[in-house]
Structure 1
Amino acid sequence: MDQIRILTKNELDEALSLSQFAFQYKLTNEEKARKKDRIKENEVWGYFQNEDLASKLHLLSLQVFIQEVPFYMGGIASVATWPEYRRKGMVKKLLKKVLIKMKENGQTISMLHPFSFPFYRKYGWETFIAYKKYTIDINQIPRSEAADGTIKRIGKNRSLLNEIYTAYAKKYNGMLIRSEEWWKNLIFTQKNHQTVVWYDEEQVPKGYAIYTVKDKRMKVEELIFLNEQARCGLWNFISQHDSMVHTVQLTVPESDQFSFVFENPSFKQEVVPYFMARIIDVKDFLTQYPLKPSRSLFLHVYDEFASWNNGIFHLQNSKNGLLVKHFEKKTEKMACAHPPKRGLQCDIQTLTAMLLGYQRPTFLCEIGKLKGNKEEVAVWEQLISKKTTYFIDFF
């Protein structure tokens, strides 16, 4: 008999065994105990066949910034199936189950790191962030004289780092709101990490870097800055390692243009697609989203995997914020026999990419993902913030 349910505490060893096999790593007894302690905070959903765990995923309860507003986010992680149970639709059924659970939880958006982008696109998730990976000869790094300030090496000062990180995170859509436990369990657990903070002339902390140095290579895990002085000051600090480092490796937002100031910008730059996102509940998401249209707007949305999102959404500004009315379509397909005279039309993937700022309405219209007249596309182009997406964590 098949069953989908949340694993009990006594079944977490089975989940860890499946993860170790699927992702090819080995935990010591001490690491296993720590891992079990952490995942108790999550919901581990399993697909059982004849009382045997066949497939599972972890549902994390997190928050992210979108347009500087905190949104409750359901993180999907550690999706795995034993080989003998694969290609039987178990993950599809698990995803369907947790989509309903996330809707009930008030998590209006979900994120995951895909093993396959096409696989998760089938279920409504869409790419929402790619980052640039820089590999630089340390002697190419420009040194700025305009970055007056000081660098201080610090320990695990969560409060200080989180204050800087949070201010930086609000500049982008999709950045995680880090809890104390997140800093403790996922940031400060790495060995041999060095952490420095950059202070301006008034001794106000405006940036930090977390990095390691090994085998003549500096790997910068996080480079966080709140203004141009802090960025230049941190880059100056990185360049000071030239006696012990040949190569610097770091990741930056896809929109980063700092390489323009390099005298020789011909270092290796890779664009890496990273995380995917999905709007779980369109009506609730739009209600929270800081949108202020000057006139009423219509959205025609199609979501094959979450039927409650299908239909027409009427958006109108009011004294109490954005008023969203949903006219649900009960038919299997959203598309009308006659195209609507008013409103934009798109699927849930396109809507997610557009509202998060990963792709602009004009481009989505050009490639046929977003349908509507030019005037309405132009209205959306102006309404949606120019904030881009970024995400530096992993789960």
Structure 2
Amino acid sequence: MIAKLLTKKDIPAAKKLWGYAFETDEPFYSWYFEEVFSPKNAVGIFNKGQLISYLQLNPYTIYLNGASFEASYVVGVITSPEYRNKGLMKILLPKAIEEINKRNHSVSILMPFDTTFYSPYGWELCYRQLKYTVPIDIVGHFASGEKYGNFHKIDINKDFEALNIVYDSFLKNYHGYVKRNRKNWDYILKDLQYYGGYACLLRDQKNNPIGYILYFLKDKKFIAKEIAYTNIKAQKSIFSFIYSHKSQAVAVQWSAPYNDPTQLFLRDTIQPEPTNNLRIYPFMCGRIINFKDAIENSSFSKDINFSFSIRIKDSYAQWNNNTFIIKISNGKASVKKSNTASADMVCDINIFTQLFFGAISIDQAVFLEKVTINNQAILKNFSKSFHFKNNYINEFF
């Protein structure tokens, strides 16, 4: 068996495997392999020249720790049925890590079908979302009849900059999100269109973009794939827009950042049972691919000035499997390997990835016994450097 990047001649085999494992819905199926899929971003395993397993490394730019990171989004992990449960992931995923590192992508994201499946390879859960399912009358009550601004169907050729203005404003207090470009938006809107969805932009009286909604109408449900707004008037106006579909839907479903406060202002009942259904669900895993590059690319508060040593355990990226000395000053960090046997802190790449992404705090990591602290004096400054953050991401491929 050989693990390598795919070439153009492998596209038909890759498409066939995707269709078997996932879907063949048209026009999405053909569009994806004509416009989105790129063999140079796919790592596969071949047996006697036959493609039997592969995954994709779709490139994105992610905002992490005050900086932009080029990242590989691992999607479409597929194995031909006759080769499943034969340990191919022990070949494919390490090869993917090696390839991502070659691309100088110091971090990776991955949407898991099982949050523990990829953990042995270093990907750990770093994102979660809040999912609402509520009667449409509840949305109408929250909107309070607000009708601010005007909606129109989104045209990517005219509205790309407007979408980004709203998106960036909505996420200004969040972390870990994708910095979307024209191609990202084009993929999102075409994906929505090919599955029968709709997209509307909200502008105020001065024609400034203040909100948008991407949605479906299905089985008497109004399903919002993404909602973004710049202020409360825009949010209420979007909810009023949703409520205007009360003759077509009885319930509304949408996802939001984990700490979204809307739940606190929706009319609900306590007895005999709650009216609204809110669920926290796991969404995306992250992985540090290159520890040194990830730390040195980050930005830190300029009032932090300290150094510490850390022992990182990483079975699948030997360049990370070392003791490092990290010095932080003037908002930046330097990372050097150390030959010393002891370290102030010891952990594996999984838990440090969660600390780096801000998914957990160092206090939580210590409580969970996921990290060993040999020098308690580093904790105060470490917690200032790598602290809990409000992560949000909403990309699906």
Q: Secondary structure at the match of 2:118?
A: helix
Aligned-pair Cα RMSD in Å: 2.6
Deviations for 1:180-201, whole angstroms, at most 9, x for unmatched residues? 2222233234234333333456
Structure 1 residue aligned with 2:169 = 167
Structure 1 residue aligned with 2:266 = 262
Q: Give, in angstroms, the shift of residue 203 of structure 1.
A: 4.3
- Asked whether the 8 Å contact 1:143–1:239 carries over to 2, the reply is no
Structure 2 residue aligned with 1:295 = 306
Q: Which moved more, 1:276-285 or 1:313-322?
A: 313-322
Distance 2:28 2:328 in 1: 55
Is residue 153 of structure 1 aligned with residue 152 of structure 2?
Answer: yes
Q: Secondary structure at the match of 2:384?
A: helix
Distance 1:200 1:257 in 2: 23
Distance 1:65 1:49, change over 3 A: same
Q: Give, in angstroms, the shift of residue 328 of structure 1.
A: 6.3
Structure 1 residue aligned with 2:246 = 242
Q: Which moved more, 1:377-386 or 1:105-114?
A: 377-386
Q: For residues 313-324 of structure 1, what are the structure 2 equivalents within 5 Å?
A: 313-318=324-329, 321-324=332-335
- Asked whether the 8 Å contact 1:135–1:268 carries over to 2, the reply is yes
- Count of residues in Structure 1 that have an aligned counterpart in Structure 2: 383
- Asked whether the 8 Å contact 1:131–1:252 carries over to 2, the reply is yes
TM-score normalized with structure 2 length: 0.88
Q: For residues 27-46 of structure 1, what are the structure 2 equivalents within 5 Å?
A: 31-32=29-30, 35-40=33-38, 42-46=40-44
Distance 1:88 1:34, change over 3 A: closer
Is residue 312 of structure 1 aligned with residue 323 of structure 2?
Answer: yes
Structure 2 residue aligned with 1:77 = 75
Q: Give, in angstroms, the shift of residue 96 of structure 1.
A: 1.1
Gapped regions of structure 1 (runs ≥ 5): 330-335
Q: Give, in angstroms, the shift of residue 351 of structure 1.
A: 0.7
Q: Give, in angstroms, the shift of residue 386 of structure 1.
A: 4.6
Structure 2 residue aligned with 1:333 = none
Distance 1:113 1:30, change over 3 A: closer
Distance 1:328 1:22 in 2: 47
Distance 1:83 1:216, change over 3 A: closer
Structure 2 residue aligned with 1:120 = 118
Q: Secondary structure at the match of 2:186?
A: helix
Distance 1:75 1:209, change over 3 A: same
Q: Give, in angstroms, the shift of residue 375 of structure 1.
A: 4.3
Distance 1:248 1:140 in 2: 9
Q: For residues 318-333 of structure 1, what are the structure 2 equivalents within 5 Å?
A: 318=329, 321-327=332-338
Structure 2 residue aligned with 1:208 = 212
Distance 1:38 1:155 in 2: 21
Distance 2:213 2:66 in 1: 23
Structure 1 residue aligned with 2:383 = 381
Distance 2:97 2:264 in 1: 43
Q: Which moved more, 1:192-201 or 1:282-291?
A: 192-201
Q: Secondary structure at the match of 2:133?
A: strand
Distance 1:328 1:393 in 2: 41
- Asked whether the 8 Å contact 1:130–1:390 carries over to 2, the reply is yes
Distance 1:112 1:17 in 2: 22
Q: Secondary structure at the match of 1:159?
A: helix
Distance 1:381 1:51, change over 3 A: same
The correspondence for 1:130, drawn from 128, 131, 138, is: 128
- Asked whether the 8 Å contact 2:223–2:254 carries over to 1, the reply is yes
Distance 1:302 1:205, change over 3 A: same
Q: Give, in angstroms, the shift of residue 14 of structure 1.
A: 0.6
Gapped regions of structure 2 (runs ≥ 5): none
Distance 2:8 2:175 in 1: 35
Letter in 1 for 2:161: S
Distance 1:170 1:303, change over 3 A: farther
Q: Give, in angstroms, the shift of residue 374 of structure 1.
A: 4.7
Distance 1:11 1:225 in 2: 42
- Asked whether the 8 Å contact 2:127–2:283 carries over to 1, the reply is yes
Distance 1:139 1:374, change over 3 A: farther
Distance 1:173 1:217 in 2: 30
Is residue 390 of structure 1 aligned with residue 388 of structure 2?
Answer: no
Q: Secondary structure at the match of 1:183?
A: helix
Q: Secondary structure at the match of 1:163?
A: helix
Distance 1:198 1:343, change over 3 A: farther
Q: Secondary structure at the match of 2:199?
A: strand
Q: Secondary structure at the match of 2:210?
A: strand
Distance 2:245 2:164 in 1: 26
Is residue 251 of structure 1 aligned with residue 260 of structure 2?
Answer: no
Deviations for 1:104-156, whole angstroms, at most 9, x for unmatched residues? 21101011112222220000000011111110011123435696831322322
